[in-house]
Amino acid sequence: MTKRFDQIIVGGGVMGASIAYELSKRGYHVLLLEENIIAGEASSAAAGMLGVQMEFEQDSPLFRFAKESRDLYSRLAKDLLEESGIDIQLIEKGALKLVYHQDEIDDLKRIASFQTQQKVEAKVISPASIPEKELATDFYAALYCPTEGQVSAPHVTKAFAKAAEHYGAVIQEQTKVQDILSENGKVKGVKTDEKVYTAESVIMTCGFKSSHFSRYVNQLTPVKGECLSVVTEKPLIQSTIFTEGCYLVPKRGNRIIIGATSKPNQTDKNVKVASVLHLLSRAKQILPALNQATIEEAWAGVRPLTKDGLPYLGEVPGVSGLYVATGHYRNGILLAPRTSTFLADIVEGKQVNQTYLEAFSLKRESIISV
């Protein structure tokens, strides 16, 4: 049995859900296929940081793309609440990057200067000026970015999916795509265990599992990250805290997410004792009051990383109508809003930013694989 759609999206993480939302909102008949459940992989494991200024230290196409994406979240939070009934828990309380060596202060000043030139607020402050009074003050300085924010990653992904359904998208969980069908250099649809679905366009958004379609995408490395969460009796911090090898993300209900390890080429979801001990030890040095916190849970997710660290966004060379959105590594939640509008514009044949098109093109695979 064959069913026809305008676009078929393979993968129900934040990329697939956001693109399904954007395309269905534009009036297309969209099918989203997920082999497990929506937000069941890396999108639910993420801490949800919108860390443009914490992540990027110099100008680049990805920095500008990320900044544009973060700027979409304020309006998006309201739209998704109205269209899906889900609160994505947007918190805009800033972020701090702490440094523990005096020779790192010049780097912080350089980053702050660059970001100020890009019209985003950033300044270097001393421990005495820190707005978070529970932090240990054994660091030399901090980069303070008051406009940084965060969201609940599972809520964002589920809100995108629910809002897509609101606009008529069809979402099927527990449906594994066995193959992508093409003929004479043109995509035709996909084959699942039970059915064939046809469409003018197919978009692969299945994270590191895009490597399952390695004839199209073959430069992805899975990177396992382990996190844990604790609950405190009272709020200890409002800002997200970054240091080398550890971050603290305060959530509603006095929860704090502590992360994350980075283990390339590991795809299991087991959380190692050594990883938890390392993260807790580092977190306690930053925030001593965590000694009295209660451990809530620990988990792991697997993120897709490209060789040059830039995502793959665009049409697959040689297969008309087949598109990819993957390789966002640890910035998937941050980059999802802009990725969805960018991909939707490409699918529609609209004019898009040429710098982004070239920077994120799959055609660069032949260059970076050398």
Tens-digit pLDDT profile for the chain (370 aa)? Answer: 457 899 999 999 999 999 999 999 999 999 999 999 999 999 999 999 999 999 898 999 999 999 999 999 999 999 999 999 999 999 999 999 999 999 999 999 999 999 999 999 999 999 999 989 999 999 999 999 999 999 999 999 999 999 999 999 999 999 999 999 999 999 999 999 889 999 999 999 998 888 778 888 878 999 999 999 999 999 999 999 999 889 999 999 999 999 999 999 999 999 999 999 999 999 999 999 999 999 999 999 999 999 999 999 999 999 999 999 999 999 999 999 999 999 999 999 999 999 999 999 998 855 444 3
- The ranges assigned to domains in the chain are 2-82+153-219+307-368, 95-126+138-146, 221-306
How many CB atoms lie under 10 A from the CB of residue 104? 17
CATH no. of 2-82+153-219+307-368 = 3.50.50.60
Class for the domain spanning 221-306: alpha beta
**What pTM value is reported for the model?**
0.95
Identical fold, 2-82+153-219+307-368 and 221-306 = no
